[in-house]
Amino acid sequence: MRAVVQRVSHARVYVDHRLKDQIGQGLCVLLGIEKGDTEEDMQWLSHKIVHMRIMDDDQGVMNRSVKDTGGDILLISQFTLLASTRRGHRPSYDRAAPPQEAEAWYERTIVQLQNDLGKPIHTGTFRAYMQVELVNDGPVTICIDSRQKE
């Protein structure tokens, strides 16, 4: 699994030009699911997202997690995170999990994040055309790959 985690002051996701979900302070997470991802990948990634210390403490130092601050998470599925640009000018998405497999992992990741965070996760709609609007706070953007453990 591959995630792009952005610390946000607020974020919204629209589906069919209608507001689907939104959060205030927290994390907007774009999630790509790769062929062969496992339960271990999903659990590791969820734990990393929820406990990563990228939220400011009272002194303005990134020393708190989204869980510590009571912030929210907006999770958006995005298969294009698995793009390979090695050859030519058209990215290849061969590494991305097939839609049925990816959707099952996406749903399981929502449940895992909810359990780890201790509250509901906000989401987009799997396989929908979405528009994501956010204010990246910092800016703080972290890329995480469960296969690389980084």
Is-catalytic flag, 38? no
Which tokens sit at 71? 């912030």
User: DSSP state, 96?
Assistant: B
Helix or strand holding residue 72 (H, E): strand 72-77
8 A C-beta contact, residue 132 and residue 124: yes
Residue of 6, 25, 69, 79 marked active site: 79
Residue of 38, 69, 80, 141 marked active site: 80
Is-catalytic flag, 79? yes
Handedness of CA 68, 145, 139, 14 (dihedral sign): negative
Residue of 78, 109, 112, 123 marked active site: 78
Query: Hey, how many other C-beta atoms are within 10 angstroms of the C-beta on 87?
Result: 8
Please list the active-site residues: 78-80
